[in-house]
Structure 1
Amino acid sequence: MTNAPADVNERVTEEWKSETTPGERVRTVMKRTYEPQSVATIAERALTSETTARKHLGILAEDGFVEAVTPPDERGTWYRRAPRSVVLERAGQILGSVDVETLSARVTELRETVREFEEQTGVESSRAAAIAETDLDPETMTEWQTARRNLKLARAALALADAADVVGDDAGSDGRGEPAGVID
């Protein structure tokens, strides 16, 4: 029965391949790819050819979901999840779990927490504190970094909620129900 795990993995892999399109598989792979990877690696993970993977990666890059990079000491274009798409996804998740009023209150709390760290150290970020060689212990430094990250994500979620309200109200419409250009 030592072959059972391999058989299960093979069955799951075949099911995934038969129940999804190559484009869906490339997107799924890229959803969890934060470090640049070669097209060959992505194609292998997505169970498709390099040509097909490259085509779908181009579409995902145009949509802003992934970004193309050229790592030093490597040839060709590599791809990774675009940081902005991660922020947008996380902001959407936050809005799905917290109402705007609660989120606004949380932003105020986080802003105060970050301000307290800044006052304690006399610098504006944990990175600057590390450079200035402050005597913060690693746990406090991590708390500060987490508070700054959460504040940025919460602000992004509020901005997303605000933008959705604008679009939902048809504000900025060109009169035909289409959003007007940002720059006219």
Structure 2
Amino acid sequence: MCVSAIALCMTDEAPSPDGPNEFPSEEELPDNPVTVDDIDPFSVDDDDSDDIDDFAAAEWKTNTTANERIRTVSNRTTSPKSAGDIAETALVSETKARETLNKLAEDGIVRTHQTDSGQLYDRDPDWHLLKQIRQLASSKTLVNQIQRVKQELAAYTDKYDATEPEELLISDKELTQTELDDISHWRTAERSLSYLRAAYRLKEAKEQAVTVTDPGDRQAGNQATTHGRNHSPLQ
């Protein structure tokens, strides 16, 4: 009894290592040429990505409140958008979105823009900047970040023998793409250093604040606060 393979059951000859001895006839071949997609063993459902998005949206909606989602979306809105657009992204009603956005506008977190098509909203850049500075001020690596950026700026200064990137832009030299990229990174580093320095000043101010423990300290603290207000902010 043959049990090893169907082919051995049908013939006493061992299969050729070079392949089958017989091939399909011309009539047995398909009319259209076979492509890679035809022989791909895996099937791909175009709706899978939609299902994943729907699942993520449902999970986000389950784990957050409507106000939290509106704040998250508004915090990422850098160009004015309508309450309806923000509501769609935040998975809330337009009425709820408008109500919360107006409250955020009163708190200075969101800006409003009145247009012919209605009121638009985006995040307040000043509030967002102050938020970033507060976050930097609480970083344990703040000093290291400042030193790293200062080293980066020093490297650009030495490389181009210039104190600021604008010197390269106004020079008569034709700049390469690499040099233009360096100018862009140089400007970013300068901006980052200004944020980091502001964060450091904020951190210093917090550390120097007097902790009130008794009436005597309270009076001293009030005097120190009043005295500090008479001085201009650190430059």
Which amino acid is 2:112 matched to?
A
Q: After TM superposition, give the deviation of residue 163 of structure 1 in Å.
A: 0.7
Q: SS of the counterpart of 1:48?
A: coil
**Identity among equivalent pairs (%):** 25
Match runs of 1:55-94 below 5 Å: 55-70=99-114, 75-88=117-130, 90-91=132-133, 92=135
Match of 1:153 among 187, 192, 206: 192
Number of positions where the alignment pairs a residue of Structure 1 with one of Structure 2 = 178
Aligned equivalents of 1:162 and 1:123: distance in 2?
Answer: 24
Whole-Å separation in 1 of the counterparts to 2:203 and 2:106? 22
CA distance, structure 2, for counterparts of residue 183 and residue 97 of structure 1: 28
Cα distance in structure 1, aligned partners of 2:155 and 2:109 = 32
* CA distance 1:52–1:141, change in 2 (3 Å): same
Deviation larger for 158-167 or 18-27: 158-167
Structure with bigger helix share is 1
Distance 1:62 1:117 in 2: 48
Choose which of 25, 29, 35 in structure 1 pairs with 2:79.
35
TM-score, scaled relative to structure 1:
0.69
Deviation of residue 26 (structure 1)?
1.0
Q: What TM-score does the superposition give when structure 2 sets the normalisation length?
A: 0.56
Tell me which of the two structures has the higher relative contact order, counting C-alpha pairs closer than 8 angstroms and 6 or more residues apart: 1
Q: List gaps (5 residues or longer) in structure 1.
A: none
Q: Secondary structure at the match of 1:35?
A: coil
Q: 1:129 aligns with which of 146, 169, 182?
A: 169
Name the larger-Rg structure.
Answer: 2
Residue 33 of structure 1: SS of its match in structure 2? coil
